[in-house]
Structure 1
């Protein structure tokens, strides 16, 4: 090996190792979470869940009910005065989610990780029904894995985490290439990682 070749190898080893450990540090907790929830999702039918359901049935004050008029858009968010009432009475902040307005009622879906919630308001009687379902912490973690009802910030985290995982895997691949000559089992093991899932798909997964 010439001095130039050795210098290039040393350069790439140094930088690949640096990016490999940085990306692995960034990915560590996320990969543990996603690996664990991969197991829980794969065995969701065997993991017993006992939903905890909370319900509220109240009547809006007449003054508040009288102030509710059909907005210009049938999917407008709830007005601030109604949002304040919900926060004070049942501890629920609907934010600026779009609601479904009609001549008879208002319906608002409040999905969230690990559960669900909704509320409806009868515009004739002022009756407000609210129901919240909590399916437990495993369901919550599973929904984080899937990005279900988690919002924009978590969606960005998943994208950034995925990029870090790609950096981790690709730098690992190049490190395998650089060390492959000294470790004969390297490429057979890499090939096994490719062939094993392909065989499972071909032999056991049918459309």
Structure 2
């Protein structure tokens, strides 16, 4: 008879994760979110940093606007349509009728379909603001149409993109996504520094300087 007793059963239940293992897993996730958010922010951060500098020195950066003006005469049927529409909708803000929009886009370098015009009994005025410049189109009841575009250069274009000025809905969405990615980037970076602070004594003084310095400058030098 075998004198040895039955072997003790080995528990198949998973052992609880060690605190060090949980810390390493959390830190790995932090690093992952940190590099993902930094990759999303990379080009936009460079763009916004550069345009932050150009906006801060806008008065020193000269821009010579280039103005383009064009004129044309409305065909008689369209002139009649314009007169009738203007008489029926004085002081209204409505898009140009389809025929007038088609003629304008074929005659001038514009996209006016669906864009609201300011109507009076004498004319229809379409404002066409754009990043880095401006433009407008006017169609008069006298049959004369005028188009003007002002281009202030690529620095002005970048500055307007920084502010989201006249850049459209999609760019506005991009700025929102970029802002969220920046928040994730900053928070994960802060937590990563917190985990490594014990081995890097300068971490907290540098973080404190980054928090206090802007507040001190704003309180003492901004009036």
TM-score (norm 1): 0.94
Aligned to 1:5: 19
Q: Distance in 2 between matches of 1:24 and 1:108?
A: 41
Aligned to 2:115: 97
Write the mapping of 1:1-207 to structure 2, written as runs, cut at 5 A.
4-68=18-82, 69-70=85-86, 74-123=92-141, 125-206=142-223
Where 2:116 maps in the other structure, the secondary structure is coil
The structure that has the greater radius of gyration is: 2
Could you list the runs of 4 or more consecutive aligned residues of structure 1 that deviate by over 4 angstroms after TM superposition? none
Q: Count how many residue pairs are aligned between Structure 1 and Structure 2.
A: 203
Q: Distance in 1 between matches of 2:113 and 2:166?
A: 14
Q: Distance in 2 between matches of 1:160 and 1:44?
A: 27
Where 1:58 maps in the other structure, the secondary structure is strand
CA contact (8 A) 2:128 2:135 kept: yes
> What CA RMSD, in Å, does the superposition of the two structures yield over aligned residues?
1.3
Q: Distance in 2 between matches of 1:194 and 1:132?
A: 45
Where 1:24 maps in the other structure, the secondary structure is helix
TM-score (norm 2): 0.88
**Higher mean displacement: 160-169 or 84-93:** 84-93
Q: Any idea what the Cα deviations from partners look like across 1:20-43, whole Å, max 9, x if unmatched?
A: 001101110000000000000000
Q: Distance in 2 between matches of 1:36 and 1:46?
A: 15
Where 2:94 maps in the other structure, the secondary structure is coil
Structure 2 unaligned runs (5+)? 1-16
Residue 95 of structure 1 deviates from its aligned partner by 2.9
Residue 108 of structure 1 deviates from its aligned partner by 0.9
Q: Distance in 2 between matches of 1:205 and 1:106?
A: 45
CA contact (8 A) 2:98 2:113 kept: no
